[in-house]
Amino acid sequence: MFGKKRGTKGGKRPGPPAHDDLVRRDFTATAPNERWLTDITEHPTSEGTVYLCAIKDVYSNRIVGYSISDRMKSSLAVDALNSAVARRRVEGADVARCIVHSDRGSQFRSQRFLAALRRHDLRGSMGQVASAGDNAAMESFFALLQKNVLDRHRWTTREDLRIAIITWIERTNHRRRRQTRLGRLTPIEYEAIMTTQVALAA
């Protein structure tokens, strides 16, 4: 089943928070790179499980970073964070002081992930234990991915699923799927239009 929370196998439970909750279920932002949400989910293939860590900018609902692997280690979350920072910097954006909100999974409490936050001058934030509402906006993305990609086929190989996930994120979710909250624009269109308006007003 897609969306199965990690960190519950073998009796493991989420640990104490590494950060205060800086979001408090306010999934809005006035500009890009103010608040990012991140989470990890999984889906089976005939070869074994595929794990996805995604990072969403709540300003435009764009998935600014992600990482896909056959292992659920701290590197999965670190790679997703690094990809988000790299993408935004290529676009000329400053991500310093951006809030990165997650649950209390071990990957997000790991020393490697905490070091990556400090290296990029990002602020960590963590929700409450066993409270889906604390990251509901991220869960909504996973639900869409499940409906539009994962449940459409019985996946044979990890590579087939990896390609399908990337294609849906980059082509469909970012450039084709118009969202009511964004004024019937796609995430890419919304960021382009709003960034231009801000620049003209400056």
Of 1, 22, 10, the residue nearest 117 (C-alpha): 22
The pLDDT tens digits along the chain (202 residues) read 345 444 444 334 567 788 999 999 899 999 999 999 999 999 999 999 999 999 999 999 999 999 999 999 999 999 999 999 999 999 999 999 999 999 999 999 999 999 999 999 999 999 876 565 667 888 889 999 999 999 988 999 999 999 999 999 999 988 888 888 889 999 999 999 987 665 445 4
pTM above 0.85, yes or no: yes
Calpha distance 124→143 (Å, rounded):
24
* Residue 21: Cβ within 10 Å count: 14
What does the buried/exposed string (b/e) look like for 38-48 if buried means 16 or more CB atoms within 10 Å of the residue's CB? bbbbebbbeee
Task: Tell me the CATH number of domain 9-201, given options 3.40.50.300, 3.10.180.10, 3.30.420.10, 3.40.50.880.
Answer: 3.30.420.10
What residues are paired with 67 via a beta bridge?
A: 53
Calpha distance 196→60 (Å, rounded):
14
